[in-house]
């Protein structure tokens, strides 16, 4: 870890705890800052805050008092989930106090270069693939961010021999200053998080921050099939590396004649990739580009892609029982994600769907239901999804109480050769705390069938 002097004797407010806030506060304290923590959860229910209090850090819990901003802070480290229209953040912006997120701290103290991955969909799969490829290629990677250990915890232990592979949200990227990954990736861009950003342009601008500090010495890997991503690339000073599932790109990764290529070098046969789904091909190509730029050989890439079956809860292969293949796509919390999951298969599908009702209808799913022979619904949106299934001409439609009961019903509706797919198209919060809990229950129910 770099022992930087930037924060020595600087008065810093860490706003919001969770894992990133705890790590940021502890790191700043170690760097000599005068740290104050403010978290909405009461101290009696906040073991993380109690632990920091024992380190001698000032802790204010139970509310977010706006007047706290007037106490002479020189920096705010904000939890990414706290929106910029929060009254405390608004006051800080009025006073001109710099606001960063924890990933910026991680970058400033890290001895290791970063590979940063952002985008609307595919971030987690791409991040995991790059990590596995670098590991297989003996490049000593560390994984951080939303799917790994908190970035500043990883950065403390990293050395110049490591590569930090990090998944980055638009929320995190709004709070960077110097952050500059050696390799940056935008997988794709669709409409998302407008309740946080306000409009689509603000969302895209936040994503574009991943390349804002890059120079001609760094690489920016972008989706050549998306015009908006290419527009962002035009503003970058980095070396642009393209990937495309639809055309040949000389300076990048693409598919031709049943093979995957990078910079006109054949990497491997497409048929040897076991991860299903056309959408996953985008993730695979961007991961290959990052791995090749990091010096990973084709044999290591082949070994990963010939065995990698998916990230947990993201079109994750679970088992084959009596000729039926079960897939857990609980992370599909919106219609677009379920559409992509359905497009991944040519076999007949038994679809398990339903969940939190956010007020939308599901008519956009109809064109994607061609291979669906039966639907099992649950949760608040069961009736809405059943209506769409009927309009799509699906005859077998069953409603159950929950995901656990959906699995045996789906099995009864299926035949050998079918795919049984949990891809809910909805958030889980009507019945389950997280999509991970929902997916774990599905997996457990599948194993019970055995």
| Residue 120 marked ligand-binding | yes
Length of the chain in terms of residues written? 450
Cβ atoms 174, 84 nearer than 8 A: yes
| Residue 187 marked ligand-binding | no
Please give the structure tokens belonging to residue 40.
């909405």
| Residue 121 marked ligand-binding | yes
| Residue 124 marked ligand-binding | yes
| Residue 128 marked ligand-binding | no
| Pairwise CA distance, residues 126 & 41, whole Å | 34
* Nearest one of 213, 220, 257 to 242, comparing CA atoms: 220
| Residue 122 marked ligand-binding | yes
| Pairwise CA distance, residues 283 & 373, whole Å | 29
- Got the DSSP string for 89-132? HHHHHHTT--EE-HHHHHHHH-SS-EEEEE-SSSHHHHHHHHHH
Long-range contacts of 264-273 (CB under 8 A, 24+ apart): 265/298, 267/292, 267/298, 267/301, 267/302, 268/298, 268/301, 268/302, 268/305, 272/302, 272/305, 272/306, 273/305, 273/306
Instruction: Give the number of other Cβ atoms within 10 Å of residue 133's Cβ.
Output: 27
CA angle in degrees (0–180, nearest 5) for 416-421-426: 160
| Residue 123 marked ligand-binding | yes
- Which residues make up each annotated binding site for ATP? 119-125
- Which residues make up each annotated binding site? 119-125
């Amino acid at each position: 870890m770099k022992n930087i002097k930037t924060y020595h004797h600087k008065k810093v407010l860490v706003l919001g705890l969770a894992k990133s806030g705890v790590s940021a506060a502890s790191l700043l304290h170690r760097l000599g800052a005068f740290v104050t923590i403010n978290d909405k959860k009461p101290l009696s229910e906040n073991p993380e805050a109690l632990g920091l209090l024992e380190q001698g850090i000032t802790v204010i819990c139970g509310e977010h008092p706006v007047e706290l901003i007037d106490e002479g802070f020189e920096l705010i480290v904000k939890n990414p989930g706290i929106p910029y229209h929060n009254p405390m953040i608004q006051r800080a912006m009025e006073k001109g106090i710099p606001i960063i997120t924890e990933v910026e701290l991680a970058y400033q103290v890290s001895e290791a270069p970063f590979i940063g991955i952002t985008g609307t969909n595919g971030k987690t799969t791409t991040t995991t693939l790059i990590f596995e490829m670098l590991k297989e290629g003996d490049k000593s990677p560390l994984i951080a961010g939303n799917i790994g250990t908190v970035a500043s915890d990883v950065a403390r232990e990293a050395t110049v021999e490591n590569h930090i592979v990090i998944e980055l949200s638009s929320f995190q990227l709004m709070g960077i200053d110097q952050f500059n990954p050696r390799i940056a990736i935008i997988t794709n861009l669709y409409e998302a998080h407008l309740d946080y950003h306000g409009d689509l342009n603000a969302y895209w601008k936040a994503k574009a921050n991943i390349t804002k500090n890059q120079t001609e010495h760094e690489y920016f890997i972008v989706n050549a099939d998306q015009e908006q991503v290419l527009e962002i690339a035009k503003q970058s000073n980095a070396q642009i590396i393209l990937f495309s599932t639809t055309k040949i790109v000389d300076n990048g990764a693409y598919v031709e004649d049943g093979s995957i290529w990078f910079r006109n070098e054949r990497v491997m046969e497409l048929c040897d990739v076991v991860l299903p789904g056309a959408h996953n091909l985008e993730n695979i190509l961007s991961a290959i580009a990052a791995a090749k730029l990091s010096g990973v050989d084709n044999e290591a890439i082949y070994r990963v892609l010939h065995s990698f079956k998916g990230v947990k809860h993201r079109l994750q292969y679970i088992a084959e029982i009596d000729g039926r293949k079960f897939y857990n796509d609980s992370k599909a919390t919106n219609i677009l994600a379920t559409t992509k999951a359905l497009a991944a298969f040519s076999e007949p599908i038994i679809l398990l769907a339903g969940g939190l009702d956010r007020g939308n209808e599901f008519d956009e799913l109809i064109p994607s239901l061609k291979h669906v022979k039966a639907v099992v619904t649950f949760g608040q949106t069961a009736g809405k999804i059943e209506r769409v299934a009927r309009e799509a001409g699906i005859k077998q439609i069953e409603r159950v109480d929950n995901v656990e009961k959906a699995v045996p019903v789906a099995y009864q509706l299926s035949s050998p050769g079918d795919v049984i797919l949990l891809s809910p198209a909805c958030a889980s919060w009507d019945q389950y705390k997280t999509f991970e809990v929902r997916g774990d229950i599905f997996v457990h129910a599948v194993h019970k069938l055995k």
